[in-house]
Amino acid sequence: MPTITKQPRVVIIGGGTGLPVLLRGLKNYPVDITAIVTVADDGGSSGRLRNELDIPAPGDIRNVLAALSDVEPLIERMFQHRFASSNELTGHSLGNLIIAAMTSITGDFVHAIQEMSKVLNVRGKVLPSANQSVILHAEMEDGSIVTGESKIPYSGKKIRRVFLSPADIMPLRETIQEIKQADLIVLGPGSLYTSILPNLLVPSLGEEICRSKAKKVYICNLMTQAGETLDYTASDHVKAIYNHMSCSFMSSILVNNKAIPDAVLDRYKEEYAKPVKFDLESLKALGLDIIEGEIYNFDNNVIRHDTKKVADILYKLLLNETNSHHHP
């Protein structure tokens, strides 16, 4: 039998706007991609569909499917189209409605995502972190509780910890399987408390990441986020994740080392956002390998991770990882 060289396997965990940016670059490499995506969103179109149809939030999943899809640009634009007329469709994204329809037809959210992946010719697997609606809560420093992913950043208080309900959330079997088989597990980029942690808090999903032998890299956010990570350094982000987990599991952190122009910083000042300082000594004390790079660019004057550069760094990490596994 000829030996088939398997593609290295990468599992990327997150949600929001950060995850799709990363996936667009990575899908061009010969890697086996699994995206594990949060379903804790309760705002906008996602929130309305979730409440009216009792399905998990489709929005973050939709963005990931679009990012990994290989279809005509017009089809992707249609899938991502958001209605802006003054009726019941206002604010709904067509892709969210299609995922809701497919869930209704197949009777199962995960099955719906698998079927949508075929329709959109998706490179890789897209899995929700749970197959049911989950609700994100935050306990604030003053002990008060704020309920709902979309409300947490606007409470005007500092977050102590976040947690999920109901108590008996189960991850998918496939998700656990993919984490077990991964050569590299990537966290982020994304909102710390509302995109990344909701995945890690799904019971036994976090534990499986702790047990995994894969290299684990955290892609640090470029900017702090008011209501979530005001004045957080890079190590504060990592410590916040560890405080929610039963282990210290990260092997490396990817940080941006290129100064951000003043004109852009001024625009972000209005949002009380500033560049995340990477405090090298504290990161080293946490036992992390620090990977530095000029890893951002501008998209409509918004700072985003540079999809090509980050994908290239991750691919090199993967190659090192799989080579060291296969050639001890």
pLDDT tens sequence across 166-208: 989 989 999 999 999 999 999 989 999 999 999 999 989 999 9
- Element spanning 47, H or E: helix 44-53
pLDDT of residue 199: 96
Tokens of 95: 């892709």
Nearest alpha-carbon partner for 242 in 283, 298, 292: 283
With tokens 């985003």, the residue in question is 304
Residue pair 45/141 in contact by the 8 Å Cβ criterion: no
pLDDT, mean over the chain: 92
For residue range 130-151, list pLDDT tens digits in order. 999 999 999 999 999 999 999 9
Residue 240 confidence (pLDDT) above 80? yes
List strand residue ranges (DSSP E) for the chain, in order.
Answer: 9-14, 32-37, 125-128, 135-140, 145-147, 159-165, 184-187, 215-219, 252-256, 289-293, 296-299, 302-305
Q: Which of these, 140, 174, 170, 143, lies nearest to 157 by C-alpha position?
A: 140
Rounded to whole angstroms, the maximal C-alpha distance in the chain is: 64
**What pLDDT score was predicted for residue 1?**
54
pLDDT at 2: 52
Amino acid at position 191, single letter: S
pLDDT higher than 90, residue 298: no
Q: How confident is the model at residue 325 (pLDDT cuts 50, 70, 90)?
A: low
